[in-house]
Amino acid sequence: MPRFMDYMISPYPLRIISLPIDSSKLKLQSLIILAVGHLPGRISFRAHAKFTKWAIVYIAGGKGSYQVDDGAVQHIESGSLFFLRPGAVYNYGPDADGYWDEYYFTFEGSRIAEWLSSWLTHVDLAKQVGHEDAAQHNRIERIFILMESGIPDNIDRAALLLESLLFEFILKDQVPAETTKTQQLIDLMADLGDSLFQPFDAALIAKRHHISLSTLRRIVSEYTGYPLGAYIHRLKMAAAKNILLNSDDTVKEIADSLGYKDVFYFSRLFKKYVGVSPLIYRNNMQL
């Protein structure tokens, strides 16, 4: 992933990815991501800034302030989310002699109007959506990876993933965090689902959710009816089926993207769970 230095912004390498293809190649025209960026350790403050496109800014660490037009100065801290919209003037950034860790997503499309007419309200108020947990981090990183690929279908996937991420963020702002077993289960299953595009590490997931590996296995078995390993393989094969039908990626590329370094092992698993080989599945389903 491209990184570069700009000491006026941060003493650390920045990641910025602009839409790498012509937007006319995208199937999803109602929501197009134009750029994504990660500015770790940002020290610069922007004053009287104006924008022609919408953007979401998520602060994963540090603190600062955010002001829209001549409105009240709002305190920003780790776990804050705020919007930048066309037609407004913004003053925002970390405190003097301080920093913040920033992720931003610039986008356009008719979906924005749909959000504003339903679940997205008070866009000039910063929202506290919680610290970056494992599921959020995985989704954010997947958006960056999908954008960097330059593949139209992947960029469409990134837009849908951004919408999902934003919706979850807004729900967290509107509803107090639940600590019930049901919510813990939802968080765990979401984390498992977000781990598809990488080698599966059960011990790491168990550690993230403060449970033992045996408890993780028991929970998944009770909830899904499958052993942990079989459940993950089933999720990955479902994702593989979708990629086979909606991209020109080779079987090896698909296996690599799902965390399988041995394409022959991946193909055997695919046939075990789907009933046919990956290539036969692609050829038969596209007839």
Residue 248, domain CATH: 1.10.10.60
185 and 168 together in one domain: no
169 and 195 together in one domain: no
> Given a cut of 70, is residue 278 above it in pLDDT?
yes
Domain boundary among 149, 174, 199: 174
Enumerate residues 6+ apart whose C-beta is below 8 A from 110. 29, 30, 31
> Given a cut of 70, is residue 269 above it in pLDDT?
yes
20 and 127 together in one domain: yes
CA 41/CA 101 separation, integer angstroms: 5
94 and 149 together in one domain: yes
232 and 170 together in one domain: no
Name the more confident of 287 and 31.
31
Percent of the chain topping pLDDT 90: 69
Cα–Cα nearest to 38, from 101, 127, 94? 101
pLDDT score recorded for residue 162: 96
CA 254/CA 248 separation, integer angstroms: 10
CA 212/CA 273 separation, integer angstroms: 28
N-terminal to C-terminal alpha carbon distance within the chain: 36
> Given a cut of 80, is residue 1 above it in pLDDT?
no
For residue range 132-176, list pLDDT tens digits in order: 566 677 789 899 999 999 999 999 999 999 999 999 888 876 655
Q: Which CATH number covers residue 122?
A: 2.60.120.280
pTM of the shown model: 0.64
Q: Is 254 exposed, middle or buried (0-12, 13-18, 19+ CB in 10 A)?
A: buried
Question: Which domain range does residue 134 map to?
Answer: 4-174
164 and 212 together in one domain: no
Per the structure, how many domains does the chain have? 2
pLDDT band at 287 (very low <50, low <70, confident <90, very high): low
**Are 136 and 165 within 8 A, CB to CB?**
yes
CA 192/CA 196 separation, integer angstroms: 7
212 and 70 together in one domain: no
Percent of the chain topping pLDDT 70: 94
Tokens of 135: 């599921």
